[in-house]
Amino acid sequence: MNRTLVGFAAALGVVCVGLVGCAEAPPPEPRAANPVEAAKPRHPVTNEMWQDAEKAAGQPAPVFEAKDANGATHSLATLTGGKPLALYFIKDGCPCSVDVEPLYQRMAAKFGDKVRFAGVINGDAEIAKAWLAKMETPYPVLLDPDIKVVKEYKADRSVYLLVIGPDGNIVRMWPGYSQTMLSELNATLAKMTGTEETPFDAAYAPREPTSGCSFYSDDPTV
């Protein structure tokens, strides 16, 4: 009788252990990838865009004058000021412009006063001031309400960025951004400023080249 009870208790213990094991919480699901990186580009950079950008290298940058949000007038010569200039394009209401802005600002902070940065926005002073207030851009944002500068530089979409040398010639043009693009921009600016190239954390930048919204559409997100 006692042996029977002991055997029954042992069997019951095994069953309980099994039940406890089955009751354990399942392993946590893998963390979702960053949506900017994981998602397929909404505005992929096409071969034609790359070809046009490559043709720009070595060409004189179009000369222009434009005012900033505070009414100050800037020219290509004053923007470069004898230093490399990173000039990029912003579309009002475009989420792509909002996404890339912190990365461009971090690149500007990395090189400090060795490199000049400036943005060009398709709007008037009120729109530019709203952008500055939202994004806290620490360098000039130029007004281009009639997209004249956009057309001169053939920057059909936002996010486009050019590096212009102190001599006024285009060193390189990118029709979109990605982890690779930011690495190339970092290397280009380091070489032009004669500084040691150190890694740039691309953070959430997409792996595939991603352009911005079209300046030729009334829909700010297209």
CB atoms within 10 A of CB 208: 14
Position 15 pLDDT exceeds 60: no
Position 110 pLDDT exceeds 50: yes
pTM, 2 dp: 0.81
* Residue range 78-101, pLDDT digits in tens: 999 999 999 999 999 999 999 999
Q: Do residues 96 and 213 touch, judged by C-beta distance below 8 A?
A: yes
SS3 letters for 46-104? CHHHHHHHHHHCCCECCCCEEEECCCCEEEHHHHHCCCCEEEEEECCCCHHHHHHHHHH
Confidence of residue 39 (pLDDT cuts 50, 70, 90): low
Position 32 pLDDT exceeds 50: no
Confidence of residue 37 (pLDDT cuts 50, 70, 90): very low
pLDDT at 188 (0 to 100): 99
Residue % of the chain over a pLDDT of 90: 78
pLDDT, greater one: 48 or 6: 48
The lowest-confidence range among 7-21, 114-128, 156-170, 181-195 is 7-21
Per the structure block, which two tokens stand in for 12? Answer: 């019951």
pLDDT at 42 (0 to 100): 85
pLDDT at 43 (0 to 100): 93
CATH of region 44-193: 3.40.30.10
Distance CA 19, CA 32 (A): 31
The lowest-confidence range among 67-76, 178-187, 212-221 is 212-221
* Residue range 122-162, pLDDT digits in tens: 999 999 999 999 999 999 999 999 999 999 999 999 999 99
Mean per-residue pLDDT over the chain, rounded: 87
pLDDT, greater one: 175 or 38: 175
CA proximity to 85, closest of 163, 189, 179? 163
With H, G, I as helix, E, B as strand and everything else as coil, classify residue 180: helix
The lowest-confidence range among 23-27, 43-47, 152-156 is 23-27
All structural domains of the chain with their residue ranges: 44-193
Position 22 pLDDT exceeds 60: no
Q: Do residues 176 and 45 touch, judged by C-beta distance below 8 A?
A: yes
